[in-house]
Structure 1
Amino acid sequence: MEDNLLETFWAVSRKLREHTRITLEPWHVSPSQSRAVMVLSKHGEMRLSALAEHLRIAPRSATEVIDDLQGRGLVERRPDPSDRRATLVVLTDQGAGISQAIREARATEGERLFAGLDPADRAELSRILRELRDSR
């Protein structure tokens, strides 16, 4: 029996997660750590609470992710100059380098994944996914 749309979507989602896990192996980072690195790379230094919002996770979970990344030398915590009680998180040079490497590896993997689609289908899929992403 042919899969329905939702089942097909979930199958593709699982495939993407597996490809992401494999893509991240050389840097020994989890998908959640990778997402945090990418957010910091895109937005620069930020408070843990802001990072948690970007990642859509609990602040406690963001703290655990940052603790792991800090232990590996990929991020550092700095005092917030505008609020002595707050702390900012920022990528280190090593973290920025890994961010760039991950970005390049994910782009290559994405090209491989979507290579079987002709340009018109890719454009249409991109349009549909953006529409789903932006809908409420």
Structure 2
Amino acid sequence: MKSALRIACSRSHLQQVRDFVRTYLSSRQLPEITVNQVVLAVDEVVANFIIHANGEDETQFLDLKLQLDDHELNVEIADNGDTIFLPAPHQSPDLRDFIRQGRKGGMGMTLVNRLMDKVEFFTRGNHTVCHLSKHLA
């Protein structure tokens, strides 16, 4: 079953995204921990698109699609802005360095990579797409 949502690039829409994902997954009798993990991962990627790729430009929008087939959840987040946003390849940061430096950001994609089975960023035309997948037992 597939479901889709379009939002403007504003942080004010993040709660709508979280509610959308939670409602979609909760109706499938999944464990609450799994639902929370996916909600957190999607929220982080959407926030990155809104803030870093689109500068919170509300004239731009994101399309979010969720699809669950058998036991495989696929999430697609497509950016419709004019800027290509491809994060650097994932490398686990040194947590000791983060603590020593007092850094408060930069751990989001590490978390997403740990919560999801597969995380891919690619371009489609002049737009950026993030595909997340998770096997659900």
TM-score, shorter chain, exceeding 0.5: no
| TM-score (ref. length: structure 2) | 0.27
Structure having the higher strand fraction is: 2
| TM-score (ref. length: structure 1) | 0.27
Asked which structure has the greater CA Rg, the reply is 1
Structure having the higher helix fraction is: 1
